[in-house]
Structure 1
Amino acid sequence: MITFENYTIRPLKIDDLNPYFDLVERNRKRLEDFFTGTVSKTRDLEATKNFLVEIDKKRNKKEYYPYLVVDNITNNFVAFIDLKNIDWSIPKTEIGCYTDEKHAGKGITTKALNLFIDFCFDNFNFKKIYLRTHKSNKAAQNVAKKCGFDLEGTIRMDYITTAGDIVDLMYFGRLN
């Protein structure tokens, strides 16, 4: 666990079912296009439970690591961070995150990501962490820059949205 100010960054657990579902549900419209897996696998509580079991299995196989940023005062989930597309042969990983709409724009995600990235370099020994975002997501681009990521380029036709559009993504990387 990582703590800063009034927040804790901790692994997502199966027991987090209801508040995690609520976090996704509150932000579903914002997540629709670029968190396709999350949106499609959390349509109701039962599907969300199955999704949490599935990602727990991936965590045990060291293929995926989901985390939450939790407000220590209210115990509400403020943000979600995950490590995916892990390549242990290099070793590198993609980081993804989203912030609850009512907490967005307050600097919480930037602080959390900076601490979390340092944790990942120290604890997982990654050589590189990268993040992908669409050109329309200015908030993600700003967070990436504030967290020491460099723009490495744009990969054309790199992602399919929930609506089925194939879009270009900007790649940002940070080396250890």
Structure 2
Amino acid sequence: MEPVEINAGAYYLRQLRADRLLDDRPAVLAAFVDPELRRWVTGYQVEDLDSAGRYIALRDREWQDDLRCSWAVAEPTTGELLAEVGLKDLDLVRGIGSAACWTHPEHRGRGVMTQALQTALRFGIDGLGLRRIGYRHAAANESSRRVAEKCGFTLEATLHQATTVDGELHDVLAWSLVV
């Protein structure tokens, strides 16, 4: 599918970009070298501008392959990347997917993610026909817990020792939003 831009009130959701008009690579890099983000968002190695470019290209391919809708949460007047929000593991036939998100270190604690995720969820439900959306995070990640609660997810299960954080096994909270 083609990427979609969405007005999210105080923010707008747009495709991550690395072109001559808008380059999100420095902001992606700054986010992924932050120790707090690296604790919770695992599986990606973003350590320089080239790897940030590969990360952005991956998100573009995932859009094209109907696997993931991923948006830069942007400040509307400057286009500055504040966060990333997405719907991943999409199965459009069965109407299921999962939410994923992170916030740039400079923009945490301002409610950016709650509003952005609520907007992405509405798109997933109304635009893609999703009927079940999951959300998982390490149990110790209190910010993710607050976002899940504010966005209307219901806690379904605690998966014991299901992820590694700081070299140790931690529980994962599994939430769902069923329409």
TM range (shorter): 0.7 to 0.9
Q: Is the 8 A contact 2:68 2:90 kept in 1?
A: yes
- Aligned position for 1:156: 160
Displacement after TM superposition at 1:25 (Å): 1.6
Q: Is the 8 A contact 1:17 1:45 kept in 2?
A: no
Tell me the TM-score normalised to structure 2 length: 0.84
Displacement after TM superposition at 1:89 (Å): 4.7
Q: Structure 1 counterpart of 2:36, which letter?
A: R
More helix by percentage: 1
Instruction: Please point out which of 23, 32, 49 is paired with 2:38.
Output: 32
Q: Does 1:90 align with 2:94?
A: yes
Q: Residue 39 of structure 2 aligns to a residue in which SS? A: coil
Number of matched residues?
173
Displacement after TM superposition at 1:113 (Å): 1.3
Displacement after TM superposition at 1:71 (Å): 0.4
Q: Structure 2 counterpart of 1:153, which letter?
A: A
Displacement after TM superposition at 1:121 (Å): 0.7
Q: Is the 8 A contact 1:151 1:173 kept in 2?
A: yes
Per-residue CA deviation, residues 116-151 of structure 1 (Å, 9 max, x unaligned), is: 211111111111111111121111111111111111
Q: Percent identity?
A: 24
Displacement after TM superposition at 1:160 (Å): 3.7
Tell me the TM-score normalised to structure 1 length: 0.85
Q: In the aligned structure 1, how far is the partner of 2:18 from the partner of 2:82?
A: 17
Q: Is the 8 A contact 2:153 2:176 kept in 1?
A: yes
Deviates more, 1:22-31 or 1:11-20: 11-20
Runs of 4+ aligned structure 1 residues displaced above 6 Å come to none
Per-residue CA deviation, residues 40-65 of structure 1 (Å, 9 max, x unaligned), is: 1x211112222322332222111122
Displacement after TM superposition at 1:17 (Å): 7.7
- Aligned position for 1:132: 136
